[in-house]
Chains A and B, each alone.
Chain A
Amino acid sequence: NAGVTQTPKFRVLKTGQSMTLLCAQDMNHEYMYWYRQDPGMGLRLIHYSVGEGTTAKGEVPDGYNVSRLKKQNFLLGLESAAPSQTSVYFCASSSPRTSGTDIQYFGAGTRLSVL
């Protein structure tokens, strides 16, 4: 099992460019999450999904869109990147309905710089 895989690991964008971050999990988890981690701050939830075809806004959703067309994949899109979106992005998944816990499994992170 690979667990949670994020691609790419690093990316540099110019202001205004778009990109998509891919998260894939092979644990058959229902729930998936996108977080951003900034210096001096805790992880903040951008968007999450509780199942295929459903998404919901988290704490800091502005400037991001997501899609969950397949249960194993959760995509995070930046339509027009801004320097304020320079951050480390983490994807996570969990299976509270089947495991009875909300322990989340994290990907290795994507380091994004927007110039």
Chain B
Amino acid sequence: EVQLVEFGGGLVQPGESLRLSCAVSGITFRNTYGMHWVRQAPGKGLEWVAFKTISGDKIYYADSVRGRFTISTDNARNSVFLQMNSLRAEDTAVYYCARDRGGSLMDVWGKGTTVTVSS
């Protein structure tokens, strides 16, 4: 069974940085097409944040985070990361990682980790 577990969330002040991790188990990571990060602000809908193929040939970001967030993967550790810099109050959300089955389809999701940006 494929499982995704996110961690690294927390409370930070505006302008600070945070690195989220997502550990993937139950599959051979390098056979996965890619990984996504999706976030959900309190009481709001889903917002796609970033995507990276495992091969690294495609990396995409939402306009709201481009230049501040960086998605990366570590095949040896079966993990995907989201480095978040220059955090803003509007980045406050539950952050989910999701596996891309292929064709950009997000088929398995983690339970999420909460990021709160507040002074």
Do A and B belong to a common assembly? no
Chain B interface (Cβ < 8 Å from any Cβ of A): none
